Structure 1
Amino acid sequence: MQEYQDLTLILKHPNPSAMVRWPPPPPSWVKMNVDANYSISNQKATSSIIIQDKTGQIMGSCFRIHNLFSSVFMVEVVAVLHGL
């Protein structure tokens, strides 16, 4: 717990709200955001995708559980391909 608190103080961004900016895509484009994680204890990976237009309207989304991969990088690659 102490290590977590120490790192939180060291890594704390001076203005957290500045980090939560979503730059919209250009007109007639969409933006796809992808995230992936891997649980060592469960031996499973998950990915999520969200696709939005310039106004922030959600055009599509997906959440998947992957049993074949043990690399977050590979799960993100598959998620990007799935989103496309």
Structure 2
Amino acid sequence: MSVLYGLADVVKGLSEYELFLLEAMLTQLETERGKPLPAAHKRELVTDFAATRQEKKKTEQSSRRKATGQRRVSVSEAHSRDFTWLPPAPRR
């Protein structure tokens, strides 16, 4: 039986890798403790983990948008540049 049984509503936005990390973390905690975690404690840990990962994703997306926004050239700058294509000169 999965460690995340009954927590589908909390973990629905997580990727497969994040689910693997979460399950490994909970299994390790239960192994160290020597007995299963209480459902309320487990739900609290899963909720905290999911919130932290969602916040990290938002921060990554925001910084990615800022980085690409600085490289973009405005439309007026793109049209103001003069470029005239000339055919290549003969080699002889």
TM-score exceeds 0.5: no
Which structure is higher in helix share?
2
State which structure, 1 or 2, has the greater radius of gyration over its C-alpha atoms. 2
Ranked by relative contact order (alpha carbons within 8 Å, sequence separation 6 or more), the top structure is: 2
